[in-house]
Each structure stands twice: as structure tokens, then as C-alpha cells.
Amino acid sequence: MLIIDKLESYGFLGFARLCFQLMKTRLFYSPARLIRGPFCLRGRSRIVWGKGFTTGVGVRLDAFGEGRGKCLRIGKNVQLNDYVHIAGIESIDIGDDTLIASRVFISDHNHGAYDTKDALSSPDVAPATRPLISCPVSIGKKVWIGENVCILPGVTIGDGAIIGAGAVVTKAVPARSIAIGNPARVVRIFNDDMGEWGRV
């Protein structure tokens, strides 16, 4: 019955492609559940993911830098949808059971320094040759990140938070809150006593 349901859902060619991707995942990307291609993976030795990790098509994971430890850590049952790009040189953590929609960008670094008093990057220097300035990113457990979100260096997102579609996250988002906009701002927080999302 399950196979018939899958055939109806995906069509014959889609089902065959899914079976191939499942086999490829088990061979090359264990303990992930399903990695859909194309899948771009750079710096594999600095990336780790948990059991149940799933991706859509066109996902790109980059782990650069000279460090020996893991730079990009993805928890259990994390789902990245189509065309997610995550780029790290220092530290990006994504907690268990997090759902990330399509076309999301997450980075722990910038090309140059722009918000400090010392050693600011000059616009006369080509961006590609400016030093990479990093600050860790931490995304908690059971977080839902909407379509076209951009998460910038130094951001911490607490457990159970929701980031609305199109948001640009530049600062911390508390646990169990909803943040929207550019720059992202918190508009609701879950009230445990009332069992509802209250306005801020």
C-alpha cells in the first residue's frame, strides 16, 4: 500500500529517482535519512549531521577555515528544503527537529568588518580579498525557519522559535517566539499559562 501511495504521489520516474536517492544516501551520507541531488558539500570533514537528516534539491553546505573540529553541526531529524545554503568558517549549530524552508541562507561570517571602531574594511578593497570576520550562529531545537530567510553572523535563535518568511535575522531571537521582518523583530511569544501565542 505504501509503495502504491508513493507511486501515485511521485509518478513512476519520480519514485525511481527517490529510490535511487535513498540508496545513495545510505551509501554515502549515513546516518542521514534522505539527501536529494544535486547536493553540494564542501569541507565534509568539518560537517556532521544526525540521524534522520533530510534535504531538498540544490542544498549547499560549506565549511571553510583552518580549524580541525566540526564547524557545521546539524542535529537529528533536521529538514532542509530546496536551495538552502549554509556557510560556516567557525561554528554553526542547528538543533534537533528543526525545519528550514527553501532558499534560506545562514552564515557565521562576513567579507570584512563594518561595525567595529577598529580595522574597518575599506570599500577600496575588493570584497573577495577582505578578511573573513566570523561570529558563531546557534539555532535551537524545534525551530521553524520560513522561506527566503537570511540568518547573519552572531545570531542565536532559541528553542521552538519561528522565523517568518523573508526575515533578515541580525540579532538574538528568544525561545518560543515568532520573529518577522527586515531586520527581524519579535512579534509574538508563547504563553505557557494561556497556551497561546501572545502579542508583544
CATH of the domain at 144: 2.160.10.10
Q: Do 64 and 16 lie in a common domain?
A: no
pLDDT band at residue 119 using 50, 70 and 90 as cut-offs: confident
Name the more confident of 61 and 123. 61
Q: Do 4 and 44 lie in a common domain?
A: no
Q: Do 18 and 39 lie in a common domain?
A: no
Q: Do 115 and 86 lie in a common domain?
A: yes
Q: Do 108 and 55 lie in a common domain?
A: yes
What integer best gives the mean pLDDT of the chain?
91
What pTM was estimated for this model as a whole? 0.90
Residue 111 belongs to what domain range? 32-199
Those residues whose C-beta lies under 8 Å from the C-beta of residue 20, and which sit 6 or more positions away, are none
| 134 exposure class (CB count in 10 Å sphere: 0-12, 13-18, 19+) | buried
Q: Do 104 and 14 lie in a common domain?
A: no
Asked whether residue 8 carries a pLDDT value surpassing 70, the answer given is: no
Among the ranges given (28-42, 155-169, 173-187), the one the predictor scored with the smallest mean pLDDT: 28-42
Domain count, the chain: 2
Three-class SS state of 109: strand
Q: Do 77 and 151 lie in a common domain?
A: yes
Among the ranges given (18-22, 161-165, 189-193), the one the predictor scored with the smallest mean pLDDT: 18-22
Q: Do 59 and 11 lie in a common domain?
A: no
Which residues carry out catalysis? 111
Q: Which H helix or E strand runs over 28?
A: helix 2-28
Q: Do 60 and 21 lie in a common domain?
A: no
pLDDT of residue 173: 99
Asked whether residue 89 carries a pLDDT value surpassing 90, the answer given is: yes
pLDDT of residue 104: 99
Q: Do 8 and 44 lie in a common domain?
A: no
Q: Do 17 and 65 lie in a common domain?
A: no
Averaged pLDDT, 31-53: 95
